[in-house]
A and B are shown apart, each in its own frame.
Chain A
Amino acid sequence: ASNEVTKDEL
């Protein structure tokens, strides 16, 4: 699993 966080905030 990658620990990349989706940047879904502004």
Chain B
Amino acid sequence: MNIFRFLGDMTHLISILILLLKIYATKSCSGISLKTQELYALVFLARYLDLFTDFISVYNSVMKVVFIASSLAIVWCMRRHRVVRRSYDKELDTFRHYFLVAACLALALLVQEKFTFLEVLWAFSIYLEAVAILPQLVLLQRSGNVDNLTGQYVFFLGAYRAFYILNWIYRYFTETHFSRWISCVSGLVQTALYADFFYYYFISWKNNSKLQLPA
């Protein structure tokens, strides 16, 4: 495992911890899209079915379990927690996420490495992860003001994607048989979706002001 991959995993983990911290400390999930969180839960469940079929390393297995458990915990809090669910911006979170699921499933049936159950689900999870942030970005755009922890959460998620791209570039040059174009193309699309957010994040950071997205 190279340093970029490790930093990618760590920033991914940090983003989830920030989100859990926000929900736990403020007992509020305002500014967080339940639809994006549901999509991530689905992404992890679909991709990490290989927990039962392939063993890579203790690190991989532990991270997979952490990602599945944390994403389910977040969805549970936002839907069921007596206090937390009251702060959910339901009327702002109206993205039709089922269309994303349907489109990604259709694409996975058409484009995958091998037409087997696990391979189709794996490709589906990669495609879905690439677009899962969309409801979250739309919600932030609509509410305009972004609180600190929510801003950090999205920033670290974006950093995770950026590190994974560096990881693929590194692997491409250091490994003889590294070809993973499904991950790479999807990963590029996913990172590009953050470009706009990053732009405003850096402007607010430079001016030392609150993060605001244009209406």
Q: Do A and B come from one complex?
A: yes
In contact, A7 and B5 (Cβ under 8 angstroms):
no
Other-chain contact of A7, B54, B63, B67 (Cβ < 8 Å): B54
Which residues of chain B are near A3, meaning CB under 8 Å?
Answer: 113
Decide: B63 and A10 in contact? CB cutoff 8 A.
yes
**In whole angstroms, what is the CA distance A9 to B57 when docked?**
11
| Interface residue count on the B side (C-beta < 8 Å) | 19
* B-contact bits for A1-10, CB 8 A (1 contact / 0 none): 0011111111
- Minimum C-beta distance from A4 to chain B (A): 7
Determine the main DSSP class of A at the interface with B.
loop
**A3 CA / B181 CA spacing, docked (Å):** 13
Report yes or no: A6 in contact with B56, Cβ–Cβ below 8 A: yes
Contacts of B164 in A (CB 8 A): 9
Q: Contact at B180–A5, with CB atoms within 8 Å?
A: yes
Inter-chain CA distance A3–B113, complex, in Å, is 9
- Chain A residues within an 8 Å CB radius of B60: 8, 10
Which listed residue (B56, B67, B122) contacts A8, Cβ 8 A?
A: B56
Residue B114 at the chain A interface, CB threshold 8 Å: yes
B38 within 8 A of A: no
| Closest residue of A by beta carbon distance from B54 | A7
Instruction: List 5 additional contacts besides A5-B180, A6-B56; criterion CB under 8 Å.
Output: A5-B113, A5-B179, A7-B56, A9-B183, A10-B12
Top 9 nearest A-B pairs by Cβ distance?
A: A8-B56, A10-B63, A5-B180, A10-B9, A7-B50, A7-B122, A10-B60, A9-B5, A10-B64
**Sample of 25 A–B contacts (CB below 8 Å):** A3-B113, A4-B113, A4-B114, A5-B113, A5-B179, A5-B180, A6-B54, A6-B56, A7-B50, A7-B54, A7-B56, A7-B122, A8-B56, A8-B57, A8-B60, A9-B5, A9-B164, A9-B167, A9-B183, A10-B9, A10-B12, A10-B60, A10-B63, A10-B64, A10-B67
